[in-house]
Structure 1
């Protein structure tokens, strides 16, 4: 088996969980209400607000009620696609204003750059929206890393703990699943990817052990040629 492509998670893998929970989520919670009020009639935002109504079974909810639902979802870290899309829009404003810069571990930056030079195709799969993914890497503390990646996947490709999601992504990438290496810090995601025939590697920066997978504490320890 020869790895041709590398698919990586973000939160807890390339980037600190604390960046998401201590920086991005509070920023979205603080700015999302006014953003929704100001842009509610725009087609892209209106479509997401309608999706919130559908997902919460409240078809008649007005804008203020939708905002209330969204803030509740943020508080419980709900992986709802319309929430992720709206968060991405809010974060984009923050990144463009220079109020946010994406956190990427230095060891991840170095490895991703090296793998790109070596000819591996790099992809991202995160529960955050594709827009949010592009912002983290495109406006990171290490500069614009977006040129390293060949594509991005979010929950529109399926839940991260379901085997079919990884089969769908492998098909989209265009390589057999066994030629793809998936990196994550969540054992259920790694299990699902492994069941889809992908090679797997667990990032365990806290020194924990995720059974059934190769475990490393840093991207510097990963050699795709050994999988």
Structure 2
């Protein structure tokens, strides 16, 4: 069966984990507090701060310093908290727009995305990073604007957790494509397992030097470069 969609993970798959956890996290960390204080009128910011207060047991209207302390703790623990992703995404988007950030993608990524797109295969992203940060990430790469190649974006807000089968069922429905015609590329075996359980085709990405380099991918096909992906 021909693949009609390829859905991409980001960290460890299209881009190095360090470029996110070191580069982007370091950029966002000192800017979260000033961003919150400078955008109190933004409904998304208000809701994100309220979520932090609820999830951390802070009083409503807590001081920004206390909210930021929680956010920093989540960053240190790599907690996939929705309000953190929302606020980070806004800070990063501003950084990309200002020319202060450039996204990293592995050398084989841009040529593969362009090749797949040119042959009619549609491309989407499913990442724990907020959609608001995915778009500028692919728009501002060292290999040019790759965002024009991507038709859909999914995160843990509009799709659900990445290790739950139901999330992949929602995405397939949104794409209007049966799971057997969707290929998911990820470096995380548990995500691939969830996608496979939803009927998707899967391929593990084992990048040298990445956290999942030594992971066991079970029965999933495995590649070290997008050049090896069979569509």
- Cα deviation for residue 34 of structure 1 reads 1.4
1:52 matched to which residue of 2? 52
- Cα deviation for residue 63 of structure 1 reads 2.5
2:183 matched to which residue of 1? 181
- Where do 5+ consecutive residues of structure 1 fail to align? none
Aligned residues: 224
CA distance in 2, matches of 1:153, 1:22: 23
Is 1:17 matched with 2:20?
no
- Is the Cα contact below 8 Å between 1:40 and 1:63 reproduced in 2? no
CA distance in 1, matches of 2:16, 2:86: 21
SS state at 1:182 partner: strand
1:213 matched to which residue of 2? 220
CA distance in 2, matches of 1:48, 1:122: 29
- Is the Cα contact below 8 Å between 1:14 and 1:108 reproduced in 2? yes
- Cα deviation for residue 127 of structure 1 reads 0.1
- Where do 5+ consecutive residues of structure 2 fail to align? none
1:222 aligned residue (200, 205, 229): 229
CA distance in 2, matches of 1:59, 1:181: 44
CA distance in 1, matches of 2:184, 2:203: 6
1:122 matched to which residue of 2? 123
Alpha-carbon RMSD: 1.2
Alignment of 1:124-203 (within 5 A): 124-156=125-157, 157-203=159-205
More helix by share: 1
- Is the Cα contact below 8 Å between 1:137 and 1:146 reproduced in 2? yes
1:119-147 alpha-carbon deviations (Å, 9 max, x no partner): 00100000000011111101111111111
| Deviates further, 24-33 or 172-181 | 24-33
- Is the Cα contact below 8 Å between 2:7 and 2:126 reproduced in 1? yes
- Is the Cα contact below 8 Å between 2:205 and 2:222 reproduced in 1? yes
- Cα deviation for residue 39 of structure 1 reads 1.5
- Cα deviation for residue 73 of structure 1 reads 1.0
| Deviates further, 1-10 or 207-216 | 207-216
SS state at 1:200 partner: strand
- Is the Cα contact below 8 Å between 1:126 and 1:155 reproduced in 2? yes
- Is the Cα contact below 8 Å between 2:33 and 2:64 reproduced in 1? no
1:62 matched to which residue of 2? 63
